[in-house]
Amino acid sequence: MKRSLNDKQKDLIQKFAALGSLVVLIIMFSVSSHAFFTVSNGMTVALQVTSIAYLGLGATCVIITGGIDLSVGSVLALSGVAAALMVKSGASVPVGMLTGVIVGALCGMVNGLCVTQLKLPPFIATLGMMLVARGLALEITGARPVSGLGDAFGVLGNGSLFRIESIGADGFPNVVFPGIPYPVILMVVLALLVAVMLSRTTLGRHIYAVGSNAEAARLSGVNVAQVTLFTYVLSGALAGLTGCVLMSRLVTGQPNEGVMYELDAIASAVIGGTSLIGGIGTISGTAIGAFVIGILRNGLNMNGVSSFIQQIVIGLVILLTVWIDQVRNRR
């Protein structure tokens, strides 16, 4: 009885530790830079966080089952250029983007089949896909960016909702409210959907069960292979979507986009308390983790810290949070 209370307290501490460090970061950067705590910078950070967050959602599900997906950075590039090439060859933008998402989902399916049917370790299966997808993206584009896609292609990445402008005295528009960028809206919607899926549905319960004890789940009648496959397909599809949004922001298909993004995704999940052993993790945690990384980058940038130092800081933050997690789980 006493121990369980302590565990609950520990969990609470972990939750607040991540959230608390996020608040501390915001306060620190607000003090050190006046431009930091503004609506428009807030939207910038949110926009920057979107790609980590999309990938983090998939990564969280995969990691909860005890797996890992290293391929998402490459898959997003392949999906993005696939969408761009479709649009270039005359397809409408929605059809092109849908193609991108489907390409991502197919890559995820291959990952999932390698893991569940060929019994490859997830690390190896997705490492292979990481190379294959990147190679494919470079091959089909000849390693050149796909440009000339038209304005419509850029709407998803650059448009926003509730943007308010007023025409100033000089005749140029003044931005009263920058609006909520479409990618941010998408992020919130997707995070809510995945969170509901994980916490409130049978499927989500089974994902946790597989990660907590795959053999017990199998002997309880859970279709372990199917559940595992689903998480990889989800991760792939979200990588595909990330690719479309990123390429849309650039209005160009970039086959070199997304290098090392998989590590940001995994880091956001891990900072948010997802256990690499499986069975534990939440979407709210991953969202906090994504914002910790995003705000660190943005804040350090505004304070003129070089990108090299940024890498060092983010690396140390990951070590620190995972260490805290280890201490928490040690009993």
Residues that bind other proteins (CB under 8 A): 1, 3-4, 7, 200-203, 205-206, 208-209, 212-213, 215-223, 279-280
Closer to other proteins by Cβ: residue 136 or 222: 222
Nearer to other proteins, 197 or 293 (CB): 197
Q: Residue 240 or residue 272: which is nearer to other proteins going by CB?
A: 272
- DSSP assignment letter at 165: E
Residue closer to other proteins (CB basis): 170 or 215: 215
Identity at 189, one-letter amino acid code: V
Beta carbon of residue 9, minimum distance to other proteins (angstroms, whole number):
14
DSSP annotation string for 263-314: HHHHHHHHHTT--TTSS---HHHHHHHHHHHHHHHHHHHHTT--HHHHHHHH
Report in angstroms how near the CB of residue 285 gets to other proteins at its nearest: 15
Strands (E), 17-71: none
Cα–Cα distance for residue pair 165/172, rounded to 1 Å:
10
Q: Tell the smallest beta-carbon distance from residue 15 to other proteins (Å).
A: 16
Work out how close the CB of 284 gets to other proteins at its nearest, in angstroms, rounded to a whole number.
18
CB of 110 to other proteins, least distance (A): 24
Nearest to 230 by CA among 63, 56, 109, 103: 109
**Residue 149, CA distances (Å) to 92, 142, 243 in order:** 11, 17, 15
The span from the CA of 83 to the CA of 97, in Å, is 5
Instruction: Compute the chain's Rg from CA coordinates.
Output: 21
Nearer to other proteins, 90 or 221 (CB): 221
